[in-house]
Structures are given as structure tokens and as C-alpha cells.
Amino acid sequence: GADIFEAHLEEADWGSHIIGEEKSGDFYSAVHYYRRLKVWYTQKGYYDIAAKFYYREKEANRKALKLRSKHWNDRLAAEFMRALFGYGERWWNVLFWIVGVIFGLAAAYYFGGSFSAHSFWDTLYYSATSFTALGYAQWAPQPTGWAKGMGAAEAIIGVFMMALLLVTFVRKWTR
């Protein structure tokens, strides 16, 4: 029984790590099987494969949530977790969002005309230092209007996202 099951799992080539139940739309069963596969691979020390099944479990759960939940906030939270940090498995997603926020807000500052700065690099500097909450040292472009508040909000967002990047990165690479 169990030895045959284990022998087949150790030799399995999972490819995309997507099982038939998820492909056919039976997300409830898929969540159950992914969880069991994740646990088995974790117990055997195959942490990279277990992580892939953890991600697939969360994806199947998100898809099931779309079908069963009438609450838009549950579905939105699942989509947010997937996009922002890949359920804790995709640190590069966080890095992509960090770069996007810094450059996006720098562009908004530049084109929004809320600075004494005359170059994009000045607003990029302001955005990066706001995001990292490092401070502006001796020189910084002087924001006016909405950019003052956005700089403070960007610092809060930045601290959160840097912590998220660190946690996600360390979680992935300490297995």
C-alpha cells in the first residue's frame, strides 16, 4: 500500500504541478490532494516540490472561492495575495511591485507637477527615498500639495513591502 504510493511519488515528474481535478474544475478535491501532496513531500524533505504544491493548493482554493463566495472582499483578498507575493512563494512578485511603485509614483510626481524639481531623476530620488523611509538628507525636491501626503503614504507602503520582500525571500531560501 503506502510503499507503492511513496515509490511512485518519489519518481513522479509533475511537470506543471497541476493535477487533473483542478483542470476539470473540481477545486475542492484539488485543494485536498494538493495539501496531501504538500505534506508528503515536506515530510520526505522535498521542500521545493512541496512549495509548488502549496502554491497550487492556494490557487485551487482561490478558484473555489470565486465559485462559492458571495463576498467580493474574500475574492479580492485572494487575488491580492496571489498578485503581490504569490502566497509567500514568489519573492520576485514583491520585487516587481516595489520597482513599479517607486517608478510609478516618480512618474506621477513628475507629470503631476507637484515639485520644484525639473527632472524625472529628482522625482525618482524623492520616490525612492520616501519608499525606503531613509530620509532626504541635505537635498530633496520640495513637494507641494498632494505630493507631501503621498510621500508619507509611500513611506508606509515601502516599509510594509520591504518587510514582505524580506519575509518572502527568507522563507523561500531557508528551506
What is residue 117's predicted lDDT score, i.e. its pLDDT?
67
Residue 136's pLDDT band (cuts 50, 70, 90): low
Residue 6's pLDDT band (cuts 50, 70, 90): low
Partners of 143 in the β-ladder: 115
CA separation for the pair 131, 14 (Å, rounded): 40
What is residue 107's predicted lDDT score, i.e. its pLDDT?
92
- Choose among 79, 85, 40, 84: nearest CA to 61: 79
Phi-psi region of 35 (alpha: psi -120 to 50; beta: other; left: phi over 0): alpha
Condensed to tens digits (0 to 9), the pLDDT of residues 138-149 reads 566 677 778 878
Please check the confidence at residue 129 and state whether its pLDDT lies above 80.
yes
What is residue 47's predicted lDDT score, i.e. its pLDDT?
86
- Choose among 126, 171, 159, 165: nearest CA to 144: 126
What is residue 1's predicted lDDT score, i.e. its pLDDT?
44
90-119: average pLDDT: 87
Higher pLDDT among residues 131 and 74, named by residue? 131
What is residue 3's predicted lDDT score, i.e. its pLDDT?
46
Condensed to tens digits (0 to 9), the pLDDT of residues 35-84 reads 999 998 889 888 888 888 988 898 888 888 877 767 777 778 888 888 88
What amino acid is encoded at 11 in this protein? E
Rg, Å, the chain Cα set:
22
Please check the confidence at residue 97 and state whether its pLDDT lies above 90.
yes
Residue 103's pLDDT band (cuts 50, 70, 90): very high
